Amino acid sequence: MNLLLIGLTIGVLGKIMLGIAVLRVHLGILHEHHIDNVVLRSIKREQTVTLIGLLLIVVGYLFEMFFYTGTLSFLCEIAECFIEIAAPAVQ
């Protein structure tokens, strides 16, 4: 795995961690009953948008991995992936 893929992976993990932190904060606020219904509806809407955003980050990462490596390397055996990745360089 080259530095670009390592960087993409670290970036995606950071974005996912940030999204999870936002969801946890919103969950804590939802359990607080001193907030009016307008705020609670807004928080629930933000949770939905955050979950969609996390899904898009993961799908985008899969597309990037496929673009840069020609395979989804975590779905194949190590030897297969090495052959698939190294094959274009040999040609």
Q: Nearest 5°: phi and psi at 2? A: -90, 175
Task: Count how many domains the chain has.
Answer: 1
Q: What is the pLDDT of residues 15-39, one digit of tens each?
A: 999 989 888 888 888 777 677 888 8
Please name which of 61, 79, 60, 81 lies closest in space to residue 71, comparing C-alpha atoms.
Answer: 81
The residue with tokens 């989804």 is 72
HSE, CB side, 13 Å, CA atoms: give it for residue 65: 18
User: What is the band of 73 on the pLDDT scale with cuts at 50, 70, 90?
Assistant: low
Q: List strand residue ranges (DSSP E) for 1-91, in order.
A: none
User: Residue 37 is part of which domain span?
Assistant: 3-90
Question: How many other C-beta atoms are found inside a 10 Å radius of the C-beta of residue 81?
Answer: 18
Residue 84 confidence (pLDDT): 60
